[in-house]
Amino acid sequence: MLTGKRILLIIGGGIAAYKSLDLARRLMERGATVRGVLTAGGQEFITPLSVASLTGDQCYTDLFSLKDEAEMGHIRLSREADLILIAPATADLMAKMVAGLANDLATTILLASDKPVMVAPAMNAQMWAHPATKRNMATLKKDGVSFIEPGSGMLACGEVGPGRLAEVPDMVEAVIDFFHADIQPLTGKHIVVTAGPTHEPIDPVRYIANRSSGTQGFAIAGALASLGAKVTLVAGPVALETPVGVNRIDVETALEMQGAVEAALPADVAVCVAAVADWRADCDHGQKLKKSKGGLPDLKLTENPDILAGLSKHIEKRPTLVVGFAAETENVIDYAAAKRERKGCDIIVANDVSHATGIMGGHENEVHIISDKGVESWPKLSKTEVAVKLALKIAEYLGK
């Protein structure tokens, strides 16, 4: 299962370090090559000799080893692996990773590496539950580090709760799953995502817009790309970084967004997250409209194109799956279900964006997935978590 895979196993401090010896052996039984790096804390529980004996390779411990560092050993170790696995990972080691410290061999390897990292934490239950640890884990996940969640039970300190290192078979399975995920479920699929608001000019200094930040749409584009999709992100005017692996096209108005979406077709999936302005000024005044004693200016509005409906009813290039978003402030599910029927899309993702929810422009979302199968309500999650779940749902839909 792991033939030819090179794993660098970093062993942190804690009584759970003894499990790392069995972990190395089990990974090697499945064909992997394992190299061991033992921290100072880890050496309090197991020895470099035991690690070297099991892996059949030198166990690395010293950042300032004259022999190894003459060849820039920490750089070589950081690059000659397909996966860096930290088991056990202490709260201290996770905090150092977040801070970008490099004061020993393990942290220097991690900072110098361009390889994927998987972390199996182990610590006291209170340490695991501490807000600082939770913040650190969230930051590491955002940086692309994957986690093997700890188990619950009797801990070495005598307390009972979560924080014990995952069992060896579970860690082996997580590593196997990681490498099997090389072939991503959306590889070969082209997905168009719209995100952010549109700005509809009234005159050179004024425009019609809404409060969309684009955060949810950008997160969805990134999640889809991480599953192997070729993603074209058509973005309204927002100040957000382009997700890794995503082709971004910046637009300002609804007409520009419609044109960019049409140009991006054909696509397997369209995900219309953008909060497109429903109306625009009938004409773009070349000069700033001035106040006058005559009252309000004569501002006429005209309807913008319906990008979601256009994709759903596209005769020549309709995507296999069209996903729309419905931002409502009341009767959320009823209005969203009616919108799905009216637009002709396959799925509507509905959310309550009334001011009290803090969703519009915030970092969390609570959505309802409405399709021909009914309504699936998700609890409040971060927008990143919503994006990941939706990307997996899209992959599942295409798989069927």
Residue ranges of the annotated binding site for CTP are 278, 288, 305-308, 325, 339, 343
State phi, psi for 385 to the nearest 5 degrees.
-65, -40
Q: Which helix (H) or strand (E) holds 381?
A: strand 381-382
* H or E stretch covering 295: none
Provide the token pair at 294: 């005559």
Query: Any bridge partners for residue 9, and if so which?
Result: 36, 85
Whole-angstrom distance, CA of residue 340 vs CA of residue 343: 5
Question: How many degrees, rounded to 5, is the angle at CA 398 between CA 254 and CA 242?
Answer: 45
Alpha carbon distance 23, 19 (integer Å): 6
User: Which residues on neighbouring strands pair with residue 124, listed in sequence order?
Assistant: none
Contact at 8 Å (CB) between 215 and 240?
yes
One DSSP character per residue, 81-135 reads -SEEEEEEE-HHHHHHHHHT--SSHHHHHHHH--S-EEEEE---HHHHHSHHHHH
Token match 């997700």: residue?
A: 243
Nearest to 175 by CA among 81, 104, 109: 81
Catalytic position from the list 157, 272, 283, 345: 157
Would residue 157 show up in a list of annotated catalytic residues for this protein?
Answer: yes
Buried b (16+ CB within 10 A) or exposed e, 11-49: bbbbbbbebbbebbebbbeeebbbbbbbbebbbebbebe
Q: Which residue has the tokens 């920490």?
A: 74
Nearest to 342 by CA among 354, 351, 331, 334: 334
Bridge partners of 55, per DSSP, are none
- Alpha carbons 237 and 363: distance in angstroms, whole number: 18
DSSP codes, 174-232: HHHHHHHTTS-TTTT-EEEEEESB--EEEETTEEE-----SHHHHHHHHHHHHTT-EEE
The residue to which tokens 């993603």 are assigned: 231
Binding region: 278, 288, 305-308, 325, 339, 343
Catalytic residues: 157
